[in-house]
Chains A and B, each alone.
Chain A
Amino acid sequence: MSNKQISGSEIVLEALVEQNVTDIFGYPGGAVLPIYDAIFNQNRIRHILVRQEGGAVHAAEGYARSTGKVGVVLVTSGPGATNAVTGLTDALMDSIPLVCFTGQVPTHLIGNDAFQEADTTGITRPCTKHNYLVKNVDDLARIVHEAFHVARSGRPGPVVIDLPKDVLMALGNYTQKSKVKIRSYGAQIKGDSEKIKLAVAALAKAKRPIIYAGGGVINSGRIASQLLTKFVKMTGSPCTLTLMGLGAFPASEKQFLGMLGMHGTYEANLAMHASDVLVCIGARFDDRVTGRLDAFAPDAFKIHIDIDPSSINKNVPVDISIVGDVRHVLEDMIKYWQSSRSKIAPKPLEAWWRQIDKWRAVECLKYEQGKSKIKPQYAVQRLYELTRKLKQDVYISTEVGQHQMWAAQYFGFDHPNRWLTSGGLGTMGYGLPAAMGVQIAHPKSLCIDIAGEASFLMNMQELSTIRQYRLPVKSFILNNFYMGMVRQWQELLHGGRYSESYMTSLPDFIKLAESFGMVGLRATKPEDVDEVIMEMIKTDNAVICDIHIDKSENCFPMIPSGAAHNEMLLGPEDEAEKPVSEEGMVLV
């Protein structure tokens, strides 16, 4: 682009092209009509029309998380922007890079309570990594390029660019990406080498080591997961992953103890509790993971690697903190581990593994599939077994609730970026649009939303989008006719008074599928499950599977809020024996 002046709308598209954006998710309205006009006149960027702005943001999250690229959203002013807020908060909590363009009333009307005006930068300030209100068309290109930089660098997150309509229509100059000087924002990439050496030395001296890794490894890129795998193998240490980290270390490896935390495995949580050296990599000691803080890994020497200094010493004080990009830090740790010929003493390590094997022998994820009712665990396990041998890549998203935990427990992930779930915010309605976004990015892959029926209803308008773009997205609904996770807590904490947690007047999911030109399948007995899954895989259209599961099944193991890792409930028998403390009652 030379000195020719172009409109603000054209500047936006030009900048998107320069940022290698190929797909954006959006919904039009008065304030963004100029951009839609510009979109109409080009074919470099594909616009995916969603059915509600919330769907656009989750779709962009799915797109971003499965590709490692920045997800892009375009919505109108006022209600368009406010509908996007949940998704933005979700992306902030789970560190997902997004750039969201919001329309705004023309500059001279801002502050006048104009039609469809909302204080978008005010509303989104606490739920974005950064936001901009563009007042001058000549700043526009720079701001877009800066926004992409901010969204993807350091700890990734969502960025909002609020675009008054007059700025979109004004003529201005385009600034190329290479000409933009990013002002003040940058993150530390390399870790402090002295601290890395200390960390390696501490780990080498461990008798009961554990590596606890999270979504930061995934965000750091594919190589980070490979390096983590290498590091875990060369140290011989057990490894556990957070909900966000699943896939960062292969689930099929012997050294994997499963997920940790509230619904983590017995072996992972007890190993955390008993460890003497704990290496946290790209995770943030979230309350779902730590349980009661004063009883969290009480004897462990703690090492924390994170790109975000504000994650360090936030909940749990650590002994060595290394700020840097996980990939670079792991690279250096591996180098130093090798060059210093470090090794964990084999005798205590073997004893540690024998102890872990005893915990494993408890078989905390065991369940019994009887003849009549489908156990949700069985349904997920079969879904895993019947899809793992496929040549296609398989991507799993989830909604929020019990089904989400069963998916995390019973579906194994051997690769990063294949598992998409709303971890930090816990947003019901995330999974379907997220799967849609994944399918846009990976048209040939098998994209499955493991859903609860209640969550599914929160964003099922996106079925229409899925139909429009002929996306073969699969919805695998574990239908228990309850907000199961709410019911479980009411059982545990509120004397089984199931206040407003029953799901009635549900649609007939088969007819619902058919009404959108999709295929609907149902399983009501255990022997139906395989057949439905095989049929679903075979179908190249979108499919909704309505799997009627045992309504009374609960998620175990469970560390109730306010309890410690070694106070897990293994099953319903434990529930009665270990009542939840009063302090635990107030926690969520």
Chain B
Amino acid sequence: MNTHIQPENSHIIAVLVDNEPGVLARVIGLFSGRGYNIESLTVAETDAVNGLSRITIVTTGTPMVVEQIKSQLRRLVPVHEVSDLTLEGDSVERELALVKVVGIGETRVESLRIADIFRANVVDSTNESFVFQIVGKSSKVDAFVKLMQPLGLNDVSRTGIAAIARGTGRMKKK
């Protein structure tokens, strides 16, 4: 059954939903129940007046599967809008990470030097540890974490990707 093998691509999908109990479970359940991938997922309330949250999902799939994902999301009752940031013009994506590095001496100095190059900030420090805050594309965060590995990398917390379309457009309540 290999007549039309389509390539798999990564897509960033933004979903504007009612901020109500169970809404995240509906979205996650949809992905697990239908066997779609989730590479990153973030959610937070973005419009308190209208009670709306925004979910940003990074997923991979063939064009047919990605279309399916979007149509299935649009079927959910609390979903107002679904937008494929990867397909619908330019967008900005950012991820924040907190990276803890433990060490003394030369490695400690080296970690500071690299943090400087990456414009990471120190948000906590003890005599033998730093917590760096780094913001950027996920690939930048990946690179930073990798460089910290031999320098005493101890713990990492990442937010997952937040993304937004460039220009004047916005996601709207139905």
Confirm or deny: A347 has a beta carbon within 8 angstroms of a beta carbon on chain B. Answer: no
Query: In the complex, what distance in Å separates the CA atom of A150 from the CA atom of B76?
Result: 10
Which of B3, B4, B18, B33 sits near A184, CB closer than 8 Å? B18
A47 interfacial contact with B, CB 8 Å: no
Q: How far is the CB of B121 from chain A (nearest CB, A)?
A: 40
Q: Is there an interface contact between B68 and A314, defined as CB atoms closer than 8 Å? A: yes
> Which residues of chain B come closer than 8 Å to A184, judged between CB atoms?
18, 77-80, 173-174
Question: Cβ of A125: which chain B residues have Cβ within 8 Å of it?
Answer: 22, 25-26, 29
Measured between alpha carbons, how far is A121 from B22 in the docked complex, in Å? 8
Interface residues of A in 121-157 (CB under 8 A from B): 121-122, 125-126, 129-130, 133, 150
Whether A183 pairs with B68 at a CB distance below 8 angstroms is no
In the assembled complex, the Cα of A450 lies from the Cα of B3 at a distance in Å of 41
Q: Return the CB mask of A188-232 against B: 1 if under 8 Å, else 0.
A: 000000000000000000000000000000000000000000000
Contact in complex: A312, B1 (CB < 8 Å): no
Alpha-carbon distance between A84 and B170 when the two chains are bound, in angstroms: 42
Question: Complex Cα distance A76/B34, Å?
Answer: 30
Q: Which A residues are CB-close (under 8 A) to B87?
A: none
Q: How far is the CA of A121 from the CA of B23 in the complex (A)?
A: 11
- Whether, in the assembled complex, B21 has its beta carbon less than 8 Å from a beta carbon of chain A, the answer is yes
Q: Which of B1-31 contact A (CB under 8 A)?
A: 1-4, 18, 21-22, 25-26, 29
Q: Is B71 at the interface (CB under 8 A from chain A)? A: yes
B91 at the interface (CB under 8 A from A): no
Please state if A312 and B174 are interface contacts (CB–CB under 8 Å). Answer: no
Closest Cβ of chain A to B42, distance in Å, is 21
CA distance A317 to B62 in the complex (A): 13
Produce 1/0 per residue, A298-324, CB < 8 A to B: 000000000011101110010000000
- Within the complex, the shortest CB–CB distance from A277 to chain B, in Å, comes to 20
Q: In the complex, A133 Cα to B20 Cα: how many Å?
A: 11
List the A residue with the shortest CB-CB distance to B22: A121
A226–B71 Cα distance when bound, in Å, is 30
Interface string of A402-435 (1 = CB under 8 A from B): 0000000000000000000000000000000000
Please, which residue of chain B has its CB at the minimum distance from the CB of A314?
B68
Interface centre among A125, A133, A150 (most CB of B within 10 A): A125
Digitize B67-99: 1 where CB-to-A-CB distance is under 8 Å, 0 elsewhere: 110011011111110000000000000000000
Query: Looking across the interface, which residue of chain A has its beta carbon closest to that of B79?
Result: A184
Q: Does B44 count as interface, using CB distance less than 8 angstroms?
A: no
When distances are taken between beta carbons in the complex, the residues of chain A under 8 Å from B67 are 313
Q: A183-B174, A184-B18, A313-B64 are in contact. Are A150 and B29 (CB under 8 A)?
A: no
- Contact check, A133 vs B77: say whether CB atoms are below 8 A apart: no
Among the listed B22, B25, B71, which residue makes an inter-chain contact with A309, where contact means beta carbons less than 8 Å apart? Answer: B71
Asked if B79 and A133 sit within 8 Å, CB to CB, the answer is: no
Q: How far is the CB of B64 from chain A (nearest CB, A)?
A: 6
Nearest CB of B to A125, in Å: 6
Whether B1 lies near A294 (C-beta < 8 A) is yes
Q: How far is the CA of A130 from the CA of B20 in the complex (A)?
A: 13
B4 touches A309 (CB 8 A): no
In whole Å, how far is B94's beta carbon from the nearest beta carbon of chain A? 28
Mask, A276-311, CB within 8 Å of B = 1, is 000000000000000011100000000000001110
Q: Using C-beta atoms within 8 Å of the partner chain, give the interface range for chain A.
A: 20 to 34
Complex interface: chain B residues within 8 A of A185 (CB): 77
Asked if residues A309 and B74 are in contact (CB atoms below 8 Å), the reply is: yes
* Chain A positions within 8 Å of B25 at CB level: 122, 125
Check A317–B64 contact: CB distance below 8 A.
Answer: yes
Contact assessment for A133 and B21 in the assembled complex, using a CB-CB cutoff below 8 Å: yes
Please give the distance in Å from A126's CB to the nearest CB on chain B. Answer: 5
A310 contacts B72, C-beta separation under 8 Å? yes
Across-interface contacts of B174 in A (CB, < 8 A): 183-184, 186
Q: Is the CB of A126 within 8 A of B29?
A: yes
Q: B77 contacts A150, CB within 8 Å?
A: yes
The CA of A121 and the CA of B29, in the complex, are separated in Å by 12
Q: Give the distance in Å from the alpha carbon of A156 to the alpha carbon of B68 in the complex.
A: 19
Asked whether A126 lies within 8 Å of B77 as measured between CB atoms, the reply is: no
Contact with A along B101-126 (1 / 0, CB 8 A): 00000000000000000000000000
A130 and B77 form a contact (CB under 8 A) = yes
Contact of B4 with A310 in the complex, beta carbons under 8 Å: no
B173 to A, closest residue via Cβ: A184
- What residues of chain A lie closer than 8 Å to B80, measured between beta carbons? 184
Q: A183's closest neighbor in chain B, by CB?
A: B18
> In the bound complex, how far is the Cα of B22 from the Cα of A130, in angstroms?
11
Residue from A122, A130, A186, A313 in contact with B68 in the complex, judged by beta carbons closer than 8 Å: A313
Given contacts A183-B77, A310-B68, A310-B72, 9 further A-B contacts (CB under 8 A): A133-B21, A183-B18, A184-B79, A186-B174, A294-B2, A294-B3, A310-B74, A312-B71, A317-B4
User: Chain A residues in contact with chain B, CB under 8 A?
Assistant: 121-122, 125-126, 129-130, 133, 150, 183-186, 292-294, 308-310, 312-314, 317
The 21 listed contacts between A and B (C-beta, < 8 Å) are A121-B22, A122-B25, A125-B25, A125-B26, A125-B29, A126-B29, A126-B33, A130-B76, A130-B77, A133-B22, A183-B77, A292-B1, A293-B1, A294-B1, A308-B71, A310-B74, A310-B75, A312-B71, A313-B64, A313-B68, A314-B68
10 pairs of A and B residues whose beta carbons are closest in the complex? A310-B71, A130-B77, A184-B174, A294-B3, A309-B71, A185-B77, A294-B1, A310-B72, A184-B80, A126-B33
